[in-house]
Structures are given as structure tokens and as C-alpha cells.
Amino acid sequence: MIEKYQVSGRQIAAGRALTGLDQKKLADAARISLPTLRRMEASEGQAAGLPNNVLAVRAALETAGVIFIDSNGDGPGVRLRKD
């Protein structure tokens, strides 16, 4: 299983796109600043930021239905939970 704080900026951006949230709404849901979220999403590889902020964004996306998928040889990804 992927470590809770090890998500990539691209996974965050992809998860946000899947849920239809804009950056402001996700930042508000995670209780972080918009510039902080923008830096995370722009990160190459692991999301840049304090671990508690990365966890907050991940938790907000998981609450919105995103499942984070670890690399398992094919690269990390995200998908939406079935309702």
C-alpha cells in the first residue's frame, strides 16, 4: 500500500480533475492555501510540502471519492471509488 504521505503532484492534480473540484475548492477542503496546493500539483515526483499538508489534501480527495493507487510496476495512479 502506498504510504499516506507519498503521493505525487500529478496524482493530486488527476484526483482533483476526476472529482471536478477546482484548486480553490480543494485547498479550502484541505484547509491549506491555494499557493501551497499549486506548488504540490506542480511538483515533479512526490508532492512538495509539509507532510501534514500533503495528508490533508489526500484526505480531502479521498473524502471526495478518490482512491490512490501505488506504482506496482506500472506507475502510480488514481481512480474514483464506486458509489
Which set of grid coordinates corresponds to residue 39? 506548488
pLDDT band, residue 70 (cuts 50/70/90): confident
pLDDT at 1 over 50: no
Average pLDDT of every residue of the chain: 91
pTM for the model: 0.89
Q: How does pLDDT run across 8-34, given as a tens digit for each residue?
A: 999 999 999 999 999 999 999 999 999
Domains belonging to the chain, first-starting first, are 9-80 (1.10.260.40)
**pLDDT at residue number 3:** 56
